[in-house]
Chain A
Amino acid sequence: MIQVLMFCLLSFGIFRIAWKGFSKVYFNIMLGRDEHVSGNKGKRIQQMLLFALGQKKMFERPVSGIFHFFIYAAFIFTQIELIEIISDGISGHHRIFAEPLGKFYNFLINFIEILSLLALAATLIFLSRRNIIRLLRFQKPELRGWPSMDANLILLGEILLIIAIFTMNSADQQLQILEPNHYPSTGRLYLSGLVTDHLNSFPKDYLVFMERAGWWIHVLVIYGFIIYLPYSKHLHIFLAFPNSYFSRIEPRGSMSNIPEIENEVRGMFGLATQEIISPRDSFGASDVTELSWRQLLEAYSCTECGRCTSVCPANLTGKKLSPRAVMMSIRDRAEELGEFRREHKDNNAQDGKNLFDYISREEIYACTSCNACVEACPVLINPLIPILEMRRSDILMNSKGPSDWLPMFNSLENNQSVWSMSEARDAWKNH
């Protein structure tokens, strides 16, 4: 009874805290400018199934793809166990699904155990990739401090969770022999059963303690994870779905139009202008409020995997630009501004800072718009859009930008060509 009470209170507290955390994330994403996404539902759903559910892009790098898949599959299937744990916790039963599901229950738990073992192997490999092999893409400056700790913490949590599952299941099987009325039969569990075989000399109290400890650790790790998620890159486990649904389906090579500027130029040439429903008075993005909510959703969906940075030609040749750092900075800035506005209870409050305090001009101007980052991202993030939007803001609103570009701009204005040449545009045919 006490256990049931404890469990219910704890669950209530956890979900309250989690709700707050997730609401903040939602608030921060909605700092972004409105952008209407419509149509093409079929294509969008397909995109979501293929890339979020099916993890298609993860398999482009087969080794990490497969190991990540183990963790992913184990995570999904453990949710069934979680449902049982919560049901048990609330009702005070033990393994509430075991009897009704019978043989299928045995199959299910065995399956989860196998996945958990594979996930354990993957977790160890991922930990060593970050901390022993020190894969280049995990050693970039933007990962120093909290981001690498975040990654390691979750991997350690995962190990703890798997150990808890095996402890619980192995002790449980021995208890099923000692007290079959209390502990419904799960049938033989092959992996944890190997441990059970060594437990027959253990006293009953000890086994009960093992089983309960495993159960509570399981619950606590999962609950910890839930409140931790809004602060972690692991938010991608949820956000990958909406993100791939809302991801851009327009051709990669087209930049978004700015109708206000189009109209101004049309006016200059005496051409018919178009009606703009909600005109903007600033162009490009100098802060998260000028990016669309879609780009902020992308920033919150970023897994910090660095696949984008590892193929970025600028980063590969030692420039400061890292598309991953761009996405991480956008999230950091959204966090900061969101916090500020909530504190001041004012949805328009400004703190005097902007995105340029996080992302330098040196970074945005090093981009070749090659789209390698866009191609590489497993969750369909487009780091190029914010880079180009920041350029737009810098050039159109601040009249800044590399001075090297001035001759090109002048020449385009005066000669309608990137170079100023004295010869005619078609003189090449006579050379």
Chain B
Amino acid sequence: MNVPIYNEVVAQGGQPEILFWVGCAGSYDARAQKISRAFAEILTRAGISFAILGEEEKCTGDPARRAGNEFLFQILALQNIETLNLYKVKKIVCTCPHCFNTLRNEYPALGGTYEVLHHSQFLEQLLNDGLIKIHDTSTAPVTYHDSCYLGRINGVYEAPREVIGHLKTEIRELKRSRKNGLCCGAGGAQMFKEDEPGHKRINIERAGEVVASGSNKVVANCPFCITMLEDGIKSLDKQQEIMVLDLTELILENCV
């Protein structure tokens, strides 16, 4: 598909309104790549002027910093800030809440201040502005999973629910939701290591709640949560019944 690259647009004298920050998962993880394509598709359909950094985008440094490797974090963050400032980027939309958090809350201290949105917030705007429309056939109930980095850490609980609310469907809440939401187990760079000894994996605990919610679609807003939930649901042998979707995919599925 055709996704504009920032430096190419700039070279032709353009200035994209939105930078779509894809992130490592969105760029390289096979499952998350689908989310990137779905989001780019929605942006295109809505007629938004956007671009990605492509090869100039580097990991935001979130996992390095949470793992304690500040040196590596600074290397990545300062390079990204150089790029973003060079292009005079004003507004960034992320499909990953970890990228969103770091860009929004950690880059300002290093000289990188932008308007940063998570894609759930941007989708909410697009739907409210009528730039994308949902067909009005009713669909089966969906369960929503709050990610820690969007929810508890950045206080964004309503935007994703508003987005789902545009569908003719019932939102099922998990036993632990909003500020009490249970982590999927991936944050703090856990994604990249084995668990410490325990009696259960965190994602299996969360997947159990998903199963208990009784719907066969669970919607998340983070590529790492999606991997974790899919694994958890597979461990419970429910992968035939329950589908894990990103918010973007749910919207694209139901777009007119």
> Chain A contacts of B71 at CB under 8 A?
261, 264-265, 396
Contact in complex: B67, A395 (CB < 8 Å): yes
Does chain A have a CB within 8 A of B186?
Answer: yes
B152 interface hit (Cβ, 8 Å): yes
Q: Choose from A365, A395, A421 the contact partner of B196 (Cβ within 8 Å).
A: A365
Which chain B residues border A409 with CB–CB below 8 Å? Answer: 64, 67, 69, 72
Do A369 and B196 touch (CB < 8 A)?
no
A278 at the interface (CB under 8 A from B): no
Contact partner of A426 (CB less than 8 A), chosen from B52, B76, B198, is B52
| A408 lies within 8 A of chain B by Cβ | yes
Does B78 touch A at the CB level, under 8 Å? yes
**Which of A367, A370, A413, A421 lies at the interface centre, i.e. has the most chain B CB atoms within 10 A of its CB?**
A370
In the bound complex, do residue B24 and residue A368 qualify as a contact, i.e. CB atoms below 8 Å apart?
no
Per-position contact with A for B15-34: 1 when CB-CB < 8 Å, else 0?
A: 00000001011111100010
CA gap between A119 and B28 in the complex, in Å: 59
Is residue A55 contacting chain B, with contact meaning CB distance below 8 A? no
Contact pick for A416, options B63, B76, B199, B202, CB 8 Å: B76
Mark interface residues in A249-290 (1 if CB within 8 Å of B CB, else 0): 001111101100110111011010000000000011000000
Interface status of B58 (Cβ within 8 A of chain A): yes
Q: Once the chains bind, are B69 and A368 in contact (CB under 8 Å)?
A: no
Q: Quick check: is A362 within 8 A (CB to CB) of the other chain?
A: yes
Contact B79 A375 (CB under 8 A): no
Contact residues in B for A349 (Cβ distance below 8 Å): none
Cβ B67 vs Cβ A318 within 8 A:
no
A317 adjacent to chain B (CB < 8 Å)? yes
Closest Cβ neighbor of A407 among chain B residues? B192
B residues less than 8 Å from A314 (CB atoms) = 196, 198, 202
Interface segment, B98-106, B127-135, B242-250? Answer: B98-106
**Which residues does chain A contribute within 8 Å of B101, judged by CB atoms?**
253
Given known contacts A372-B183, A395-B67, A405-B193, is B106 in contact with A317 (CB within 8 Å)? no
Interface residue B54 (Cβ < 8 Å from any Cβ of A): yes
Query: Does A418 lie within 8 Å of B59, measured CB to CB?
Result: yes
**Does A92 sit within 8 A of B, measured CB to CB?**
no
Candidates A284, A368, A405; contact of B148 at CB < 8 Å: A368
**A265 near B75: Cβ-Cβ < 8 Å:** yes
Interface residue B166 (Cβ < 8 Å from any Cβ of A): no
Cβ-defined contact, A253 with B104, below 8 A: yes
Collect the chain A residues with CB atoms within 8 Å of residue B57's CB. 425
Give Cα A251 to B78, complex, Å: 20
- Bitwise interface map of A from 372 to 406 toward B, beta carbon under 8 Å scored 1, else 0: 10010000000000001001111110000110110
Q: Is A109 an interface residue (CB 8 A)?
A: no
Task: Please tell me if A146 contacts chain B, counting CB pairs below 8 Å.
Answer: no
Choose from B63, B154, B200 the contact partner of A253 (Cβ within 8 Å): B154
Q: Contact at A426–B3, with CB atoms within 8 Å? A: yes
Cβ 8 A contact of A417, one of B3, B27, B190, B202: B27
Q: Are A311 and B180 in contact (CB under 8 A)?
A: yes
B residues 135-180 near A (Cβ < 8 Å) are 148-149, 152-154, 179-180
Residue B231 at the chain A interface, CB threshold 8 Å: no
CB distance from A142 to the nearest CB of B (A): 16
With a cutoff of 8 Å between Cβ atoms, the chain A residues found around residue B64 in the complex are: 408-409, 412
Q: Which of A251, A317, A362, A413 contacts B200 (CB 8 A)?
A: A317
A372 adjacent to B152 (CB under 8 Å): yes
Q: Which A residues touch B115, using CB under 8 A?
A: none
State which of A266, A321, A392 has its C-beta within 8 Å of the C-beta of B68: A392
Distance of B54 from chain A, by nearest CB (Å)? 4
Looking at A257, A321, A394, A425, the one whose CB has the most chain B CB atoms below 10 A away is: A425
Q: How large is the interface on A (under 10, 10 to 19, 20 to 34, 35 or more residues)?
A: 35 or more
Q: Does A316 contact B (CB under 8 A)?
A: yes
Contact between A426 and B54 (Cβ–Cβ < 8 Å)? yes
- Chain A residues, CB < 8 A from B59: 412, 416-418
The reply to whether the CB of A419 lies closer than 8 angstroms to some CB of chain B is yes
B36:A428 contact, CB within 8 angstroms: yes
Is A313 an interface position by the 8 A CB rule? yes
Q: Tell whether A212 is near chain B: CB-to-CB under 8 Å.
A: no
Interface membership of A424, Cβ < 8 A: yes
Interface of chain B residues 52 through 94 with chain A (CB within 8 A): 52, 54-55, 57-59, 61, 63-72, 74-76, 78-79, 82
A320 within 8 A of B: yes
Determine whether the beta carbon of A253 is less than 8 Å from that of B195: no
Within 8 Å CB of B187, what residues of A?
368-370
Measured between alpha carbons, how far is A176 from B27 in the docked complex, in Å?
84
Tell whether, in the assembled complex, residue B79 and residue A319 are in contact, meaning their CB atoms are under 8 Å apart: no
**Residue-by-residue, is B100-129 near A (CB-CB < 8 Å gives 1, otherwise 0)?**
011011100110000000000000000000
A198 within 8 A of B: no
Report how far A394 CA is from B67 CA in the complex, Å. 10
Q: A289 vs B30: C-alpha distance in the bound complex, in angstroms? A: 45
A375 to B183, CA, bound (A): 13
- Known contacts A269-B79, A426-B55; 10 additional CB pairs below 8 A are A269-B78, A318-B198, A368-B188, A370-B152, A393-B68, A396-B70, A404-B193, A408-B192, A417-B58, A418-B59
Interface residues of B (CB under 8 A from A): 1-3, 5, 22, 24-29, 33, 36-37, 40, 52, 54-55, 57-59, 61, 63-72, 74-76, 78-79, 82, 101-102, 104-106, 109-110, 148-149, 152-154, 179-180, 182-183, 185-190, 192-202, 205
Pull 22 A–B residue pairs with CB atoms less than 8 Å apart, ordered by A.
A258-B74, A265-B75, A283-B70, A311-B180, A318-B199, A366-B195, A367-B188, A372-B183, A375-B180, A388-B66, A392-B68, A402-B193, A404-B193, A409-B64, A412-B76, A416-B59, A416-B76, A417-B24, A418-B59, A419-B28, A428-B36, A431-B33
Q: Which residues of A contact B (CB under 8 A)?
A: 251-255, 257-258, 261-262, 264-266, 268-269, 271, 283-284, 311, 313-314, 316-321, 362, 365-372, 375, 388, 391-396, 401-402, 404-405, 407-409, 412-413, 416-419, 421, 423-431
A-B pairs, top 10 by smallest CB distance, nearest first, are: A391-B68, A369-B188, A318-B199, A318-B198, A404-B193, A416-B58, A395-B68, A370-B183, A428-B33, A253-B101
